[in-house]
Chains A and B, each alone.
Chain A
Amino acid sequence: MLIDVTKCIGCRGCQVACKNWNQLPAEKTQFQSSYENPPEFLPYTWTRVTFNEIGEGDNLQWCFAKRQCMHCREAVCVMVCPVEAAHKTKLGTVDIDQGKCTGCGLCQIYCPFDVPKVDQEIKKAFKCRLCLDRIANNLPPACVQACPTGALQFGEEQAMVTVAEARVAALQRNGHPKAMLYGKGYAQVIYVLGDVPANYKIPVYQGPPSVSYLWEWALKPVKSLFAVGSILAVLGNYSGLSAAKTEEEKEGNVA
């Protein structure tokens, strides 16, 4: 998926489309000092547009950036999840299996983009699923479908990178010398930025921090134990976990 923030007008059709398709409840919010709301990702707010006022006077810029899960190639949430709830799907997206999730919050703590959020009442983590149920049926994610300006595009990775690189080159030629491609290589959600990431309050990120490898290594025994447990459970005709495992396949069959 490509997010071209230079075409974003901050209308937030994507935010509403996400809640609509995924049937997520509205948050009770209050005016926060700018147009931005909700102020952060929440268990049931999976995408949001940030409104960043940069500079002042003649140099004032109002930078909009749609944020969501980056669906990292090497996803920290997957690496640190002790129960394999955070996982890579067959389509390559990063998903959280709430059937397995214990709400430990490690994904929330270690995600470099501060994306997953735990509903503390039910002890489950949630985040953007890249509309797995839509893309498995050859539909674009709901946010992409709703975007009026073409700021959001969805397609094969190489095609998106080609579009993005051409756009960055065009922007650099036309008065945006700092325009850049962001996320290529390590994320499957990539950005065309008109300026440096800081203007959009997007962290500079190059890949998983070493601590996450440490976590992955440290958690291996736990993960193995859990895997053994689930096999036993299946053998014992307890189908809850295996049903959750095949969820994506089921969604894939929804015509």
Chain B
Amino acid sequence: MTNHWIDYRNADVIMAIGANTAENHPISMKWINRAREKGAKFIVVDPRFTRTAAVADLYAPIRPGTDIAFLGGLINYVFEKKLYHEEYIKNYTNASYLINSSYQFKEGLFSGFDGQKYDKKSWAYQTNAEGKPLQDPTLQNPQCVFQLMKRHYARYDAETVSQVTGCPKEKFLQVAEAFCSTGQPGKVGNILYAMGITQHTYGSQNVRATAILQLLLGNIGLAGGGVNAQRGESNVQGSTDFGLLYNYLPGYLGCPKASAHPTLAAYLEKETPKSGYWSNKPKFLISLLKAWWGEAATKENDFAYNYLPKYDGDHSHIAFFEDMSAGKIKGLFAWGQNPAVGGPQANLERRALEKLDWLVAIDLFETETASFWKRPGVNPTGIKTEVFLLPAAASYEKEGSIANSGRWIQWRFQATKPPGEAKSDLWIAYKLGQAIKTAYAQGGVFPDPILKLTWDYGEGEEPDIAKVAQEINGFTVADRKLLLNFSKLAADGTTACGNWIFSGYYNDVANPPCKRREKETSGIGSHPNWAFAWPLNRRILYNRCSSNPAGQPWDPETPVIWWENNEWKCNDVPDFGWKTPEGAMIPPAESAQKPFIMNPEQQARLFASGLADGPFPEHYEPVESPVVNLISKQQDDPIAARWPSSKQGLAAVGSPDYPYIGTTYRVSEHWQSGIMTRNSPWLNELMPNMFVELSPNLARRLGISNGDQVAINSKRGEIRAFACVTPRIKPLKIGNREVEVIGLPWHWGYRGFAVGESANVLTPHVGDANTTIPEYKAFLCNVRKVR
């Protein structure tokens, strides 16, 4: 999130798109209700009339997978009605930048497409002799971002949006009027999103579309504004911060690639921008290497850079299951993860597990993944995989930090001891590390990275988590004094830091900031002395934008950072150059054009060349779609990630065998693959069985009554479920056709107290062009009555 949960209370209009916030993030409604008590409007855009829609002021239906059409329509509405925040976009975004004259957009494709990928040369800024981007502050030049964007989205008129999304035109216009009213200074709009936005072959572009809309309306950096990603698990923010993904090291440092970054010099040269805060990247990486390899990381050996594993190719979730299917992977740690239920095309992934020599499953209960070898319909004697089950402690049975969606890192204390032989994840990782070290001490192909790894967290049976936290926070190598924060990091090996963005969260052993619990008594809800937010305890990112170039707050009721009596007043930690190292105040003119310090140009990108599939979000159909693309000739995202198995496993556009759109979701009563909640009788009582939601219209046509058993099938498989026939699902009018949507919660599997079939048997192995996140949210299926 750019902002945080409590900050929702400061919004004038809140729009949840692709987020079922009441059901999946119930606490959010406390703060949304606070805003509404002061007159705020709450808009929900969702294919289903969810519990969130039920409590909204305005609900707009949308066909799964058409968010860019919807958001693009809002962007066009902003241009048509001139609702953009002109002073904001002129100063804080690249609206005035001129783009290469060879840039083009034609028939759904951007310039530079070679049939496989884009050559992005034509997407670059026009620059002067010193390499500085050319700008037209009047925004009139036809090649400036503002004009290009206006032309790009002119095709997304309300009529077209309605035809593509199925949202009635009047509804769309009601949303447009309500949300785009926040373009005026003094009004702030907040966009909430979650997996309904990301789990598409163009999920990254969906997110971009929300950011563009918020920038045009001047809603980024203000209290009550922002683009707020609501994370689906309580510490998934923390695990992402720590490099959970295969291509990141902790703190969002890219993993080195074997081909591009053979040496430290090559990595730093290619990955360090010349300007913006990321120009400090060498300090972050070298301090990380010092934290990991201590004395073995010296200037002479490039701080042990050659110990870091390097990769090439795609090893994300779908890719490694494809590799597993092909017999290329010998062993797997499924650590708090249950792909046999949660992974797409689950039957393929369950079969892939059979190819493993060994599987280590670490969880609270025996998951479907751990028991894949005895799943219904298979003969265990034919499966050779050796499975180890390690019982893990639950979150309240261990202590440690937890980072929430708003980037607040809060220490959670141990409430009770784990049952039986269950151990904390830290204990398991620590003991595993020790055992691997012992094994490598006998020799190995390349033992140094293992043997020289610092792995010293106390003498006790349970590793000392405070020592781990101190390593993450960072310290000066000479005296092991904890660093105040990441501003003290150096690139010469004198500092060590396990995760630069967390630096400062544990800088005082006696009173670590992440353990603070002091509530704010007045202010805008920042609660600066409650826990610690990365980076630098900053609660609202890009907060220079909360004030105009002269430093006057756009919204005087909830000012974040503002210039008064020749100094900056702060309701938060400034996110820009506001003080010299000597402590003198830097007047607002200096920072007025540099409010986005993480970008080399230090302004926000309405036009961005970073993504693989285009500088502007463009509507494409999901890979499986019942209709042709009504906006361009390009049916689907040309860069969408596909794998060999996806080729045979996909239904054709408009397939009569699979006429309905399937979309998956979660309910309040169960969590993720259900392994914790389906083992809780009280929760099973509330939601005992797998069910599917379908419209009364479709049910009538298929002779299905509420509570019947139905079969749902896709090109990937078939499942059974109870039919939940409800007016909350409505057919959508797409072009001249009526399209039906089937809603499938994905919580059930074949283990636990409450068993049921898994929705992910139906979902395909296709992924986002940039992140490869699976397209769970829009696919084709069929349904019939069983009894």
Residues in A lying within 8 Å of B, measured CB to CB: 6-13, 15-16, 19-20, 25-35, 37-38, 53, 56-57, 60-64, 148-150, 170, 174-175
Contact = CB atoms under 8 A, between A and B. Distances in A.
A73 B71 CA distance: 54
Contacts of B49: 60, 62
Q: Which residue, B52, B53, B685, B728, has most C-beta atoms of chain A within 10 A?
A: B685
A31 B23 contact: no
A150 B250 CA distance: 38
A148 B51 contact: no
A20 B691 CA distance: 26
Contacts of B54: 9-10, 61-64
B687 A30 contact: no
B729 to A, nearest CB: 10
Q: Which residue, A29, A61, A64, A175, has most C-beta atoms of chain B within 10 A?
A: A29
Given A16-B686, A20-B682, 6 more contacts: A8-B55, A9-B52, A12-B668, A31-B688, A64-B54, A175-B57
B685 A32 contact: no
A35 B687 contact: yes
B51 A30 contact: no
A53 B687 contact: no
Contact of A53 (B39, B688, B726): B726
B707 interface: yes
A56 B30 contact: no
Contact of B51 (A27, A38, A56, A62): A62
B55 A38 contact: no
B730 interface: yes
Contacts of A61: 54
B689 A31 contact: yes
A149 B26 contact: yes
A16 B707 contact: no
Given A31-B691, A62-B49, A11 B23 contact: yes
Contact of A30 (B26, B682, B688, B730): B688
Interface residues of B, number: 38
Contact of A11 (B37, B668, B726, B728): B668
B691 A15 contact: no
A38 B727 contact: no
B724 interface: yes
A107 B560 CA distance: 58
A26 B728 contact: no
B438 interface: no
Interface in B676-730: 681-689, 691, 706-707, 722, 724-728, 730
Q: Which residue, A10, A13, A149, A175, has most C-beta atoms of chain B within 10 A?
A: A149
B27 interface: yes
A13 B51 contact: no
A6 B27 CA distance: 15
B688 A148 contact: no
A60 B727 contact: yes
B26 A148 contact: yes
Q: Which residue, B23, B49, B686, B725, has most C-beta atoms of chain A within 10 A?
A: B686
Interface string B720-754: 00101111101000000000000000000000000
B236 interface: no
Contact of A32 (B33, B684, B707, B725): B707
A37 B687 CA distance: 7
A78 to B, nearest CB: 30
B29 interface: yes
Contacts of A9: 22-23, 26, 29, 51-52, 54-55, 668
A195 B54 CA distance: 13
B601 interface: no
Contact of A15 (B53, B686, B706, B730): B686
Nearest to A32: B707
29 contacts: A7-B33, A7-B55, A9-B22, A10-B22, A10-B668, A15-B682, A16-B682, A16-B683, A29-B688, A31-B688, A31-B691, A31-B707, A31-B724, A32-B707, A33-B706, A33-B724, A34-B724, A35-B686, A35-B687, A37-B685, A60-B727, A62-B53, A62-B728, A148-B26, A149-B26, A150-B30, A150-B33, A170-B37, A174-B39
